[in-house]
């Protein structure tokens, strides 16, 4: 039997959580009186690095959320990999605005700086004005690290553009230079956003690629020149990556190493399906993400199989590439590109768009005209829907494209006939 010691305050919440666990667990409420005048007669169990340490749930953007069980060894290796690559130190002070139930918030932005002896400054609730104020504050201890998702950077840019900052751009850049590391992750970083952030702050965001199941896998370098536009960088320490051809002749990322999780909690079939075993027992985790490797060894992510790879008229199209090009148009604020089923073309390239505040309407014909010099004709969307209230996202800024397909079943949808 397992025993959980907790406070009276959390007893009911923990018992409700345990309803879903298929084993006997006893919840013991620990009162202050229990801790007084106890004999020091403890028998500690031997510490096992392969014992489960943490369960984080996947975002559920490509299916139902799964509980990812990671061990102490997994977490330790994930941490030392990033500490070595990103040079965390006791001098660092990280401004934390991310959720702690996600790997970005709990590993990259919490455990890593703590392991290195750094300081973490939590912001109770994300607020664009407060973040800018803290970045530029000369009276408080200097922030040296900041990590966020692209949506957060987009909101910070929007605040700066519409409200301004009470100092010159030269002075702003001078103060922002004191922040040694600014990271973007958990979703694709639009090139237009990357360039705008650099224009405002002087920073080139470090883009990285990782998963709940593996921790961080790929990363740009600490030097700006090693942060390549459109790329998520190179393999991180203690991680092995290979590209394996799929049935569709794409290249899927497989990952091996002590950073890779143990299993999906109470889902043996899903766990078995996620791995490939070599004869010597080596496990490779299949990420389901499609990528290419450049001559310099850096990787470009093309998206998730069956979600971001659109098959239309015999062509295979990266939805992420189309999104990047569309976001370079001045009137596009947000965009999600997906494939919708079609009897003739197998799939059609469809775009859901949120416009900037100064753009009142957009026709599909005008959009196609603006994209004709940026994309091959077969990649240009033939279906368009405007979402005035923005594109729905989850708590970490990810878009659930499977849910978005429903948006084309109603409302004002524009179609172009080939």
* DSSP secondary structure of 59-95: --SSSS--EEEEEHHHHHHHHHHHHHHHT--TT-EEE
For residues 119 and 194, membership in a common domain is answered with: yes
Is residue 29 scored above 90 in pLDDT? no
CA distance 411 to 387: 10
CA distance 413 to 364: 10
Nearest partner of 283 among 293, 272, 270, judged by Cα: 272
Domain boundary among 245, 274, 303: 303
Q: Count of domains in the chain?
A: 3
Q: 32 is in which domain, residue-wise?
A: 2-43
Share of the chain above pLDDT 70, in %: 94
What six digits make up the tokens of 71? Answer: 């061990």
Nearest partner of 183 among 125, 127, 227, 241, judged by Cα: 227
61 within 8 A of 47, measured Cβ to Cβ: no
For residues 59 and 184, membership in a common domain is answered with: yes
The band of 145, judged by pLDDT with boundaries at 50, 70 and 90, is very high
For residues 36 and 166, membership in a common domain is answered with: no
**pLDDT, position 36:** 57
For residues 158 and 242, membership in a common domain is answered with: yes
264 within 8 A of 66, measured Cβ to Cβ: yes
For residue 92, the domain's CATH number is 3.40.50.12780
216 within 8 A of 206, measured Cβ to Cβ: no
For residues 138 and 256, membership in a common domain is answered with: yes
**pLDDT, position 181:** 98
Using CA atoms, how far residue 333 sits from 129, 323, 326, 356, 403, in Å, is 20, 11, 9, 5, 20
Read off the pLDDT of each residue in 80-96 and give the average, rounded to a whole number.
98
The model's pLDDT over 217-241, given as tens digits with 9 standing for 90+, comes to: 999 999 999 999 999 999 999 999 9
| Residue at 357 is within a domain | yes
H-helix or E-strand containing 383?
A: strand 383-386
For residues 60 and 113, membership in a common domain is answered with: yes
For residues 177 and 270, membership in a common domain is answered with: yes
| Residue at 103 is within a domain | yes
Is residue 35 scored above 70 in pLDDT? no
Contacts of 163 (CB under 8 A, 6+ apart): 129
């Amino acid at each position: 039997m397992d025993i959980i010691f907790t406070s009276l305050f959390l007893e009911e919440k923990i018992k409700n959580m345990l309803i879903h666990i298929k084993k006997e667990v006893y919840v013991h409420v620990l009162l202050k009186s229990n801790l007084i005048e106890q004999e020091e007669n403890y028998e500690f169990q031997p510490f096992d690095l392969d014992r489960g340490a943490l369960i984080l749930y996947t975002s559920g953007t490509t299916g139902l959320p799964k509980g990812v069980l990671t061990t102490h060894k997994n977490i330790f290796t994930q941490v030392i990999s990033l500490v070595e690559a990103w040079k965390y130190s006791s001098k660092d002070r990280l401004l934390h605005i991310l959720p702690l139930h996600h790997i970005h918030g709990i590993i990259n932005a919490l455990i890593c700086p703590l392991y290195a002896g750094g300081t973490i400054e939590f912001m109770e609730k994300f607020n664009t004005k407060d973040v800018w104020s803290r970045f530029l504050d000369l009276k408080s201890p200097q922030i040296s690290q900041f990590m966020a998702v692209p949506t957060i950077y987009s909101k910070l840019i929007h605040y700066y553009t519409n409200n301004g900052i009470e100092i010159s751009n030269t002075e702003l850049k001078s103060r922002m230079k004191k922040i040694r590391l600014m990271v973007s992750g958990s979703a694709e970083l639009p090139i237009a956003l990357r360039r705008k952030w650099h224009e405002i702050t002087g920073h080139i965001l470090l883009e990285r690629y990782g998963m709940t199941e593996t921790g961080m896998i790929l990363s740009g370098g600490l030097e700006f020149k090693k942060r390549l536009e459109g790329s998520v960088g190179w393999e991180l320490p203690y991680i092995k990556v290979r590209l394996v051809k799929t049935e569709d002749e794409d290249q899927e990322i497989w990952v091996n190493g002590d950073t890779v999780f143990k299993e999906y909690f109470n889902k043996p079939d899903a766990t078995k399906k996620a791995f490939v075993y070599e004869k010597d027992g080596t496990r490779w985790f299949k990420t389901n993400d499609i990528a290419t490797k450049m001559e310099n060894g850096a990787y470009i992510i093309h998206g998730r199989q069956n979600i971001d790879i659109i098959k239309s008229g015999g062509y295979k199209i990266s939805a992420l590439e189309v999104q990047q090009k569309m976001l370079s148009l001045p009137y596009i604020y947000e965009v999600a590109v997906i494939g919708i089923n079609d009897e003739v073309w197998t799939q059609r390239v469809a775009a859901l768009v949120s416009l900037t505040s100064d753009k009142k309407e957009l026709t599909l014909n005008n959009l196609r005209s603006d994209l004709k010099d940026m994309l091959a004709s077969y990649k240009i969307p033939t279906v368009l829907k405007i979402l005035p209230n923005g594109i729905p996202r989850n708590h970490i800024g990810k878009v659930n494209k499977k849910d978005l397909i429903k948006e084309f079943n109603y409302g004002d949808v524009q179609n172009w006939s080939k």
